[in-house]
Amino acid sequence: MDISLIIYSGLGAAIGAALGRLISKAFFKDVESTEPLDSSSNDTKKGNKTVLTVILTIIGLNVLPLYYKDMTLPRLAPIDTRAFNKDMPVLDIIQDQNPELYQSMLKPLDKALRNNDFTQEELNEFREVYLTVITEKRETASAKTLKESDSVATLQLEILKEKEPTYCTLIFYGRPYPRLDGILGADFVTKEQAALSLLFTESPRPESYVPDLEMGKSLFDQIAAKIIEENNITDLDPEILPSNENISEHKKICDFQSALFAKKAELSDDEMLNVTAYLASFE
């Protein structure tokens, strides 16, 4: 099971998370986050766990394999991380730099491995940690590294616009989005892994650097307003409809983010860092 094609994209989601709410609040309306896709109720989970406990009490070891598979019991042998790290080489770097964080990422991966599939809940759990560490790295990255990250995120948006435009909207608001195998190909994964490795290994911006948040806000407001006007965007949070009758509105969200990355790439290094710092202050 190649987890990279299921989980991706880390860069696009980390950059886009909550950006939509900020822009909507500034230019249109305040937007609330939606519930995770395919999520189960807590009551159902608690009920299932209670039933399993009763069954174990009655028939003991006969159901231990199933119980073990669902991660209630600890592993009898350490998880082999080589497959995960092979699919996503940046995990090797995270494991070296932050072993504790890496271990927290392994839990949902381990459960998916035992069940030979990812549920939406496991994707959300993994992404929460994964995207947080990427976001933290971007907060101290150099302008050169940030521009490389944005370039790869733009490529992702182009793919999503063609295949699943509604995912652009979900990512834009930091909402849970489905698995991406069958959408993003191996070529994209290779490029994103290279950009992520750069993000984790390149020298960060100088520690003495102090961003100008007011300048960042001014630049961002000018850029966003111009893109909204040029693309005739009237709704930055279009509803996701089963009929896809408003799919063109979701494509506009893909275009908006691509244009935003393109405009940021034209900025000087200081301007780029100021805009990035301003956006990070709202996450």
Q: What is the pLDDT along the chain (283 residues), one digit of tens a residue?
A: 555 555 555 666 666 665 666 676 666 654 444 444 444 444 444 444 454 444 444 434 444 444 445 544 556 666 777 777 777 889 899 999 999 998 888 888 888 877 778 888 888 898 888 888 888 899 899 999 999 999 999 999 999 999 999 999 999 988 888 888 888 888 888 899 999 999 999 999 988 889 999 999 999 999 999 999 998 888 889 999 999 999 999 999 999 999 999 999 999 999 999 999 998 887 6
Question: pTM score, two decimals?
Answer: 0.77
Could you give the residue ranges of the DSSP H alpha helices within the chain? 3-7, 10-16, 19-27, 42-59, 64-69, 82-87, 90-97, 99-115, 120-140, 143-163, 165-172, 186-201, 213-230, 247-265, 269-280
Identity of the residue numbered 219: L
- Residues with Cβ within 8 Å of 134's Cβ and at least 6 positions away in sequence, in order, are 10, 11, 14, 196, 199
